[in-house]
Structure 1
Amino acid sequence: MFGFEPIIFIIIVINILYVTFFTLRMLLVIKGQKVWASIISMLEVYVYLVGLTIILDNLKDPVNMVAYCLGWGLGVYLGGKIEEYLALGYVTVQAIVNPYDFELPRALKSQGYGVASWTADEKSGRRTVIQVLVKRRHEQKVVKVINKMSPNAFVISYELKNFQEGFWGKGTL
């Protein structure tokens, strides 16, 4: 009963594939990538149907149920890791730094990033606000530059759903 059987491995692998495809499809839909989401969904449903057939034929053994759960958890993890690697979409990185810090925007611009900066008033006085729109895969590079040049900066970033062409057109990113 508790010896290794090939069916256990098959259940785990099928569930990893299914849940990974499911996770990626959902992320692609959220990111507006309808064509890729549709392609992934076809693979997802095929793997699901194959897996469902195997699992329903072998549900009496509790080890198979554990294998199913293990595959599900690993699929969620793998889907998340793949999404991190793909880093789809855009983010805005905003930093509030020391007043009149003009070197940081210059440094970011010299690295090819579009930067908007302005002076703002806050509770403790004047500060410089820097805003950078970047592809998500470049977010950590921008944050590292900010932290290196302005270690006390208050930094936030948030994902964008869409934006219009204008100054920050998609062709310039």
Structure 2
Amino acid sequence: MAIRKIVMYPADILEQHCQEVKKFDRKLAKVLDDMYDTMIKYDGVGLAAPQIGLDLKIAIVDIDDESGTIEMMNPRILETAGEQTGPEGCLSFPGLYGEVTRPFYVKIEALDRLGRKFTLEAEDFLARAILHEIDHLDGILFTTKVIRYLTEQELEG
């Protein structure tokens, strides 16, 4: 397992649609393990493959709750409901935070590291984190959804 370099905006890969994962092998498992280590090292709650320079539909989320680490290959949003507005940041935009409105609830379908299909329902902050990472896989950055940018003081308050 290794810490990968985080790709910073304005790198082109951050605004591209990623390719679907087709091979579920040891190489993929290593990428997932590296992504987890990288996310933890940089104190993130999610990380998408383009953020480490890979053009693949891979994302992980871990908001440090009972859900544990969620690994998603080729995720698809099946359903959303409700609305929430809250602060977001991104490892590819260090020190930048903004208020973003997203659905309160999301239901997704994805593949795990072995290529098995699963569905997952999430609400509140977990839904926000999952939707943020799925956006990355479609080349959508949180900065395109910011209602208002936040200062460090507003985040801490």
Q: The TM-score by the shorter chain falls in which range?
A: under 0.3
For normalisation by structure 2, the TM-score amounts to: 0.22
For normalisation by structure 1, the TM-score amounts to: 0.20
Q: Which has the higher strand share?
A: 2
